[in-house]
Amino acid sequence: MDTVLRLLFYEMLGLGLIATVVKSFGWRDYLKKRSKAAPTKLLRSPGETAQRETQMLNDWLMGLLAGIVATPAILLGQMPHTINGRAIAIMAAGIVLWAVPLIYLLNLRRRLELSLRGQRAVAEELNRLMREGCFVFHDYPVGPRESIDHIIVAPSGVYAIKTRTRRKSGALGGRDEGVTFDGSGLNFPNGYRDSAVVAQARSAAAELSRELAAASTDKFNVNAIVALPGWIISGTAKGDVTVLNPEGIKDVVVSAEKPLLSSVQMNRVAGVIEQKCRDIEL
């Protein structure tokens, strides 16, 4: 028992030093940024929150990889000269303890990267709306780790957009099958139903409407949109949430009808949104 405790102590000590070294790079960059902060800040880019979460995952992944590499070296250095079955079992258990969270975080990072690519694809389409006189913002923060993917301020109204990026199943055989929206959820060809994204889009629009109402005397509703890059929407139901392929958002936002917002109102709303989106230090 004393041998096991001693091995665990040396392992934790060594891995603690490794984790401190890995984390010190982030602390160094943060302190340098704070000491050389420019008076002007930048607007958030598409997927800013996902990028920050990916960077945090990268730090954890570096630590876990270091743990897997260091565990055999540390344990073998402290083991008796004769390696028995118990020593090998301890070493194997230590590696497994590091490998399990590593695999989980790798899958999580893969999903974040997919989400980030989807948000960038939607942003490319939305940024073209600025030619039509619209204001476009990305990654509007509404909480410590929550954000609205995209916001459009147009003469036809204000739109909060939630991006959902989902890979197509290999079983589709390359066929371009569509997604149907029944008013409360998205039905994908492989039988998967996603109702959470519709609720998230509705919640984001309601939260933005409350914040804008608190900061302005103008009263209006924020329209909720779910953007599905890479998918064709074969059927939609009427409701308070609109589901579109990113290429179809322009047809909804840019309207020939009488504008709901004047240029003065658009500038006022855009100013309120920009205050929260312009928080990236150089």
Domain ranges of the chain: 2-118, 134-280
Query: For residue 227, how many other CB atoms are within 10 A of its CB?
Result: 29
- The pLDDT, as a whole number, for residue 226 is 96
Q: Is residue 225 scored above 50 in pLDDT? A: yes
User: Which residues, other chains included, contact 25 with Cβ-Cβ below 8 Å and sequence gap of 6+?
Assistant: none
Q: What is the pLDDT of residue 59?
A: 77
The pLDDT of residue 61: 81
- pLDDT score, position 158: 96
- Alpha carbon 95 to its chain's center: 30
**Does residue 196 carry a pLDDT above 70?**
yes
The pLDDT, as a whole number, for residue 184 is 87
Please tell me the predicted confidence (pLDDT) of residue 41.
Answer: 87
For residue 67, the model assigns a pLDDT of: 72
User: What is the rounded distance in angstroms from the CA atom of residue 113 to the CA atom of residue 116?
Assistant: 5
What integer pLDDT is reported at residue 221 of this predicted model? 86
Q: Is the pLDDT of residue 84 over 90?
A: no
Distances from the Cα of 108 to the Cα of 57, 72, 179, angstroms: 8, 26, 24
Stretch 231-249: mean pLDDT:
87
Q: Answer with the residue of higher pLDDT: 268 or 172.
A: 268
User: Residue 229 and residue 221: Cα distance in Å, rounded?
Assistant: 25
Return d(Cα 186, Cα 195) in angstroms, integer: 6
Task: Indicate the pTM of the whole model.
Answer: 0.79
**Is residue 165's pLDDT more than 90?**
yes
Q: Which DSSP symbol is given to 190?
A: T
Query: How confident is the model at residue 1, as a pLDDT?
Result: 47
76: Cβ contacts below 8 Å, ≥ 6 apart: 83, 91
Mean pLDDT, residues 217-237 taken together? 85
- Who has greater pLDDT, 115 or 281? 115
Q: How far is CA 180 from CA 159, 167, 192, 195, 199, in A?
A: 21, 16, 11, 12, 16
